[in-house]
Amino acid sequence: MRVVIVRIESRRDLYHIVKVMYSLGFNDLVLVDPKIHPRAAKRVYNRLLREKKMLYEAEVLGHLSQVPGSKLCFRRAGGYSPKLVDLTKYDNFVFYGENGDFSKEELSLCDQVVTFPGDYTLPTIVTIALWEYARRTGKISWI
């Protein structure tokens, strides 16, 4: 399962997201049109990879349409209803950077959209989504 972040703006958010990914056993990250310099984003990601001795690198793409496979998109608006979504059937979890939302074109590329209440931060939404996925797929056996 791939984690896709669209237009991330903060190196600190990226750092927290990668830490959560590592902690829960995820290692495939794609940055779409990052608003921080792609080299800076890769440096944050690769530094964490060296610390954790992982072998993967972040992929940087220009548009969400370049991401292959099914997409479950997470937004900040409305209420969260994880029990209504089969998290295990998607190839990509797609999150939008801190400020703004998906465009209509980007939303049309999503196979399904899950919404969160408006005051969750990006790292929090990523953590909740990955935790739920890991719990439901048995990646975390001690829950």
DSSP 12-31: HHHHHHHHHHHHTT---EEE
Confirm if 73 and 87 have CB atoms less than 8 A apart: no
Q: What is the pLDDT of residue 4?
A: 92
Q: Sketch the domain layout of the chain as residue ranges.
A: 2-137
Domain 2-137: give its CATH code.
3.40.1280.10
Q: What is the pLDDT of residue 55?
A: 36
Angle in degrees, CA 31, 37, 43, rounded to 5:
75
Global confidence as pTM: 0.81
Separation CA 90–CA 2 (nearest Å): 9
User: Confidence band (pLDDT; 50, 70, 90) for 57?
Assistant: low
Separation CA 95–CA 72 (nearest Å): 9
Contacts of 108 (CB under 8 A, 6+ apart): none
Confirm if 14 and 41 have CB atoms less than 8 A apart: yes
Tens-place pLDDT, residues 80-112? 555 567 788 889 999 987 666 788 898 899 998
Tokens found for residue 107: 């939303």
Q: Where are the beta strands (DSSP E) in 40-86?
A: 59-61, 71-76
Residue type, 143: I
- Mean residue pLDDT of the chain comes to 79
